[in-house]
Amino acid sequence: MSANPLSEKEVAALRGDFPILARTVRGGKPLVYLDSGATSQKPTAVLDAERDFYTRLNSAPHRGAHALSEEATAAYESARERISAFVGGRPDELVFTKNATESLNLVTHAFLMGGHPAIPGSERFTLDEGDEVLVTEMEHHANLVPWQELCRRTGATLRWFPVTPEGRLDLSDIDTLLTERTKVLALAHVSNVLGTVNPVQMLAERAHQVGALVVLDACQSVPHMPVDAPSLGVDLLAFSGHKMLGPMGIGGLWGRSEVLDALPPFLTGGSMIETVRMEASTYAAPPQRFEAGVPMAAQAVGLAAAVDYLQAIGMDRVHAHEAALTERLLDGLAQRPWVRVLGPTDMVDRSGTVAFDVEGVHAHDVGQILDDAGVAVRVGHHCAWPLHRALRVTASARATFGIYTTPAEVDALLTALDRVPAVFGIETGAR
Amino acid sequence: MSANPLSEKEVAALRGDFPILARTVRGGKPLVYLDSGATSQKPTAVLDAERDFYTRLNSAPHRGAHALSEEATAAYESARERISAFVGGRPDELVFTKNATESLNLVTHAFLMGGHPAIPGSERFTLDEGDEVLVTEMEHHANLVPWQELCRRTGATLRWFPVTPEGRLDLSDIDTLLTERTKVLALAHVSNVLGTVNPVQMLAERAHQVGALVVLDACQSVPHMPVDAPSLGVDLLAFSGHKMLGPMGIGGLWGRSEVLDALPPFLTGGSMIETVRMEASTYAAPPQRFEAGVPMAAQAVGLAAAVDYLQAIGMDRVHAHEAALTERLLDGLAQRPWVRVLGPTDMVDRSGTVAFDVEGVHAHDVGQILDDAGVAVRVGHHCAWPLHRALRVTASARATFGIYTTPAEVDALLTALDRVPAVFGIETGAR
Amino acid sequence: MDLYQELILEHSKRPHRMGLREPFDAEVHHVNPTCGDEVTLRVDVEDGTVKDISYDALGCSISVASTSVLATEVTGESVEEALEVFKHYRAMLMSKGKDPGDEEQIGDGVAFSGVSQYPARVKCALLGWSAFTDALAQAGVDISTISSDAAAPTA
Amino acid sequence: MDLYQELILEHSKRPHRMGLREPFDAEVHHVNPTCGDEVTLRVDVEDGTVKDISYDALGCSISVASTSVLATEVTGESVEEALEVFKHYRAMLMSKGKDPGDEEQIGDGVAFSGVSQYPARVKCALLGWSAFTDALAQAGVDISTISSDAAAPTA
Ligand SMILES: Cc1ncc(COP(=O)(O)O)c(C=O)c1O
Ligand SMILES: Cc1ncc(COP(=O)(O)O)c(C=O)c1O
Ligand code: FES
Ligand code: FES
């Protein structure tokens, strides 16, 4: 990608759209928000879009014939169209969920139905003893625990690609791991700890050769780089709105039409039905089949505004901006031998997520020192506990970026970090 | 309840808090919003609370140690405390969901686990052939279809209380319907079509005598009258935020501690875990066990503001206000013999939901004539298709109220309704 | 309100060609999930001509009238012509008021042009017509000239 | 920052009474799910007196130091006194800065008063202590004087 990073002036202008960035913490220190990987900040345009929905159109979409409901339905469906297009999909290929976690559970629960009598083709989504689900050791709990539960309940076996010490997928055993027994390959596009960008296209191709369904956790790619679901070759793709400048409480599940068509419903209730009798019901076509109850229409409208905002910048430029910040941080950390970076230390197939460990100091204590300087990073296992075990650390500190992050903020992190050795009395190897 | 209805002046003042009520539809006609049962309008205080969260505290609650995350966590948990108290609960008795539909599915899916090895006491939530689930014929699809699916998958039998022509539960066969075989009684507190208030306390007592779990769909009671879950004697209680002046995308499930403690998890993923290994995981205590993924914290804060707003008015006064409107509408409809009211025509155990049928004219056509006059009512089966079948109508028109509804709006509905016979050439029996 | 044209009200009160008749090549049953309305519709196709459309409809004035107009306009036409009429009729309904409909092409179907302003009612005006194209397909007629989303518009 | 008192840093670097010893009446294993930190803790109770607290702790400075202070302060006390110390210590942590802690009551525990300003760290300062009260309960001690939510505060 040869796009230019954002200029200092551009970022400064952008920051004006995020009122929270002007606030101070811990007794007057300017907020340095380096936790966008957990959740991003929201531009005024997104907040305005939501408020506009509430103050002009608010009513239940797909549930009325009156003027307000017509307008709310149109706004909701226009949001679906724009957000689906953002990941390369058609309007009816996008299901709204509350977050990526629900999107992934929607898929694992489909397999628990053991095929649904009212959904032709749903027999495809069954798992039995002897079948296998393949994940990776770097998965977020959201793309691991649901598969564990699914395997526990169906008798299928969970297998996983291990992670190399450098934080890449170890594919050396691919021929024994990805076989005719594999019914599902579920993996992260980008690791939320290591920043590693996985070779999705290649793996999806291999998985399809053995007839497996490919489920992509795109939580950490969709907000940060151009993502085109069809050309990645995956079958289903989950993402979260709140990580991509959108409101909380909304996520997405993109699915190829043929796949969604055959997928049994998950949550059942109003508006996902075709006919209901006391004895039994039949179900609507996707995406409605998966959207039971009054949907988060205001949040969909807000997320569409977020997508518009990102597209106005250009996702290749968003990516270039964050890559520049990542490089700056990796360079700075490389000069501090008492810091160990988890994950790739170069920029090849790497995204803007930098986790690190100060040897001899617990990540929570590191984070506390940074926080005291106004620098907000995430500490802990970041919902990727098995990955931390594999890398032989209990926890790490993690800096993540957004379009509003500045090089000066990276430097502020490094400066604050330099207080750590003194406070906790560890050797820095300097002097 | 002897509380006073809101005075004209009070309602006029309140309406200033709902900017949407000032808008016009269909070529300049003032909006007369009589569809609050589908979703309520939101006061500025709620929109401000959400926006304030986003512009001051936005970050992922329960996922960080930095200042912002601490503040967001505190705001989120304070919201839980206030909202739980609103239905008579303790803080850890309230689970946040995306809507009432998810709340109810959370319960039905718990039974699909067949008991969870990691949750002591969860064996209680199992269903087998021979077991029965008892619902009513007046349920919203959200409290019917999930139980159908559960019965289909476990081999249990779904039974139901029928509805009398007057729109009350027909309890004459209670002794054959509610028996030792009954494992769950799931019912609506208030019908979203008929306005009928069901005798929950008595039924819960009877159900507990046979050892059944009692699940209450309180979607149409919590927003409109004082509700105290513990004194109703139910085990679990579901409601939706968007129907009670709160934001879209948030719902609640209140549960007695002992019940929640033993309930297996539903959605799995981040932040609902205790420990995670590749092989298996263990789960957190409620309410965290049921809140996988980044939650809708901003919406929780908004909903807490809605609860504050309602409490400042007083739920007994809210109820009195809506009762006065209901009586006015029922009186007006009684003077129009060509209109048939579905549900009780007096005010005994009746809430502010008035569904009606103009004989010889389809509800959608009735709704269209009203809409043309700016009057927004809901038309169709209102997600209660079996109830409509039982009452021998395909569809109905339904007016529902909020605290901002005025007597003049009820009159506007009646005036607009009077156009219907002329347009569709039906006999009114007048003159 | 442009919606309730006199012609619509008349057809809805006295639907033409109603009832289920023999012989027929295919019978379908379509439901509008949002309102619960239903139509059962039969087609009799002979030598590429729509010989009969018979139906039983339970629904709003728009859905009943549009099914009645369908039966009136299309019976006796060739299947190609019938599909052409459908395409033009649907285009008008989907146009949000931009396409007033051409009487040359869709005959009395133009009475439904007002429906396009009311998205929630577009399904009503298509209920019988979607059933018809579905029935044609089940009778072995190639309906690929109308796009695949035709049968199930999401309004 | 009031958090990292000298005493905390010292205890975290050189935790007192660490290691798992015999004899013991109960052993528990507690985990802090948000960070993955763990503590294994044993108590030896004799004639109503806490004879020994031995432990293995993997965690942040706050959790290690607080477990070390626990072992130092409470070993040799009667179980009643130990539970009293716990109650006062917890009250201080939960006070959001309002209760500075009383050295008479909780000894070196007062060094942790700064933690109450950092809600995300309260769990750290309680990890070892919750394990301790849990271990007492498992050893058959009546711990009802401390309320039931004590063992699992939701910070
Ligand atoms: C009685 C009743 N139950 C359940 C629901 C479902 O609520 P939601 O759509 O918010 O999930 C509704 C409203 O739609 C309702 O009125
Ligand atoms: C890679 C990855 N997957 C899944 C999730 C879960 O997303 P959410 O919490 O929005 O459901 C996250 C973020 O928390 C993530 O980073
Ligand atoms: S309202 Fe049912 S088809 Fe028109
Ligand atoms: S960070 Fe884990 S116990 Fe303190």
Better-predicted residue by pLDDT, A54 or C149: A54
Taking CA–CA distances from B271, the nearest residue in chain D reads: D34
SS3 of residue D151 by DSSP: helix
* Whether residue C65 has pLDDT greater than 60: yes
- CB D33 to CB B73 under 8 A? no
Average pLDDT, chain A: 96
Closest Cα in chain D to A397: D35
Please report the pLDDT score of residue C135 as a whole number.
Answer: 98
Could you please report the per-residue DSSP string of C97-152? TS----HHHHGGGGGGGGGGG-HHHHHHHHHHHHHHHHHHHHTT---TTS-GGGGS
CA angle (A391 as vertex; A390, A395 as ends), nearest 5 = 105
Cα(D124) to ligand 4 centroid in Å equals 5
Q: Residue C23, preceding bond cis, omega within 30 degrees?
A: yes
Q: Atom of ligand 1 at shortest distance to CA of B101?
A: 11
Tell me which DSSP letter residue B56 carries. Answer: I
Could you give phi then psi for residue B136, rounded to 5 degrees? -130, 160
Q: Which chains share 3+ C-beta pairs under 8 angstroms with C?
A: A, B
**Cis omega (within 30 of 0) on the bond before D23?**
yes
Cis status, amide bond into B287, omega within 30 of 0: yes
Locate all alpha helices (DSSP H) within A275-406, ordered by sequence. Answer: 297-313, 315-334, 363-372, 385-390
By percentage, how much of chain A surpasses pLDDT 90? 96
Q: What distance in Å separates residue B399's CA from the closest CA in chain D? A: 43
Residue B37 CA, closest ligand 1 atom number:
16
Flag whether pLDDT at A208 surpasses 60. yes
**Cα A151 from Cα A128, distance rounded (Å):** 9
Q: Note the pLDDT of residue B427.
A: 85
pLDDT of residue A430: 60
Q: Which atom of ligand 1 is nearest to the CA of B103?
A: 11
The pLDDT tens digits for D84-109 are: 999 999 999 999 999 999 999 999 99
In the reported structure, the alpha carbon of residue C3 is separated from the centroid of ligand 2 by a whole-number distance in angstroms of: 48
Question: Do at least 3 CB pairs under 8 Å connect C with D?
Answer: no
Compute the count of residue pairs across chains A and C with CB atoms less than 8 Å apart.
Answer: 26
What is the pLDDT at residue A114?
Answer: 83
pLDDT (0 to 100) of residue B430 = 60
CA distance B186 to B214: 6
- State the amino acid at position B370 in one-letter form: L
Residue C151 has pLDDT above 90, yes or no: no
Please check whether residue B144 touches A, CB under 8 A. Answer: yes
- Average pLDDT (A274-282) is 95
Which residues share a beta bridge with A95?
Answer: A253
Two structure tokens written together for B143: 């409290």
The pLDDT tens digits of the residues spanning B290-302 come to: 999 999 999 999 9
> Taking CA atoms, what residue in A is nearest to D118?
A368
Identity of the amino acid at A153:
R
pLDDT for D68 equals 98
pLDDT band (50, 70, 90) for residue A64: confident
Residue A170 has pLDDT above 90, yes or no: yes
**Annotated active-site residue in A94, A373, A377, A383:** A383
User: What pLDDT, on the 0 to 100 scale, is given for residue A421?
Assistant: 97
- Report whether A321 contacts A11 (CB < 8 A): yes
The model's pLDDT over B111-152, given as tens digits with 9 standing for 90+, comes to: 998 889 999 999 999 999 999 999 999 999 999 999 999 999
Find out whether B14 and B326 touch, Cβ atoms under 8 Å: no
Q: Which of B248, B372, B404 to mutate to test the interface with A (most CBs of A within 10 A)?
A: B248
- Give the pLDDT of residue C150: 40
pLDDT at A235 over 80: yes
**Measuring CA to CA, how many Å separate B340 from each of A36, B358, B396?**
56, 6, 10
How confident is residue D152, by pLDDT bands cut at 50, 70 and 90?
very low
Backbone region of residue C5 per phi and psi (left: phi > 0; alpha: psi in -120 to 50; beta: other values)? beta
Rounded Cα–Cα distance for residues A422 and C10 (Å):
89
A90 pLDDT more than 50: yes
Query: Where does the pLDDT of residue C1 fall: very low under 50, low under 70, confident under 90, or very high at 90 and above?
Result: confident
> Among candidates C112, C107, C147, which has minimal Cα distance to C128?
C112
**Ligand 1 centre from A297 Cα, in Å?**
15
Pocket of ligand 3 contains residue C37 by CB under 6 Å: yes
Please give all residues whose beta carbon lies within 6 A of any atom in ligand 2, as ranges: A 99-101, 140, 142-143, 188, 192, 217, 219-220, 240, 251, 383; B 270, 293-294
- Using DSSP bridges, classify how beta strands B32-33 and B375-376 pair: parallel, antiparallel or unpaired: parallel
| Cβ-defined contact of C33 to A274 (cutoff 8 Å) | yes
Contact A269, A124 (CB under 8 A): no
C91 touches chain B (CB under 8 A): no
Cβ-based contacts of D36 with chain A (< 8 Å) = 380-381, 385, 388, 394-395
- Tell me which H or E stretch contains C40: strand C37-46
Residues 179-238 of chain B with CB under 8 A from chain A are none
Contact A275 C152 (CB under 8 A): no
Q: How far apart are CA D119 and CA D7, in angstroms?
A: 20
Separation CA B198–CA B220 (nearest Å)? 11
pTM given for the model? 0.96
As given in the structure block, the two tokens for residue B122 are: 């969860």
Joined together, the tokens standing for residue A48 give 């305005």
Interface check for D122 against chain B (CB to CB < 8 A): the answer is no
Give A-chain residues touching B25 at CB under 8 angstroms.
66-68
Query: Residues D124-152: what's their mean pLDDT?
Result: 86
Among A1-10, A206-215, C133-142, D116-125, name the one with the lowest average pLDDT.
A1-10
Q: Where are the beta strands (DSSP E) in A377-423?
A: 378-380, 396-400
Q: How many CB atoms lie within 10 A of CB B179?
A: 13
- Residue B419 CB burial class (10 angstroms; 0-12, 13-18, ≥19): middle
Is B142's CB within 8 Å of A240's CB? no
Alpha-carbon distance of C150 to C82, in angstroms, equals 14
pLDDT beneath 70: ranges in chain B: 1, 430-431
- Does the distance separating the beta carbons of C58 and B368 come in below 8 Å? no
First to last CA, chain B: 40
Answer whether residue A1 shows pLDDT above 60.
no
Residue of C nearest to B388 (CA): C36
Give residue D153's pLDDT.
Answer: 40
User: Helices marked H in C36-78 — which ranges?
Assistant: 61-74
Alpha-carbon gap, residue B170 to B189, rounded angstroms: 15
Does residue C155 have a pLDDT over 80? no
- Say if residue D134's pLDDT is above 90: yes
Q: Which residues of B9-18 are buried (b: 16+ CB within 10 A; e: fewer)?
A: eebeebbebb
The reply to whether residue A274 touches residue C31, judged by beta carbons under 8 angstroms, is yes
Exposure string for B119-149, b = 16+ CB within 10 A, e = fewer: beebebbbbeeebbbbbbbbbbbbbbbbbbb
Tell me if A288 and C154 make a contact (CB, 8 A cut-off): yes
> Which 236-265 residues of chain B touch chain A by CB within 8 A?
240, 242, 247-251, 265
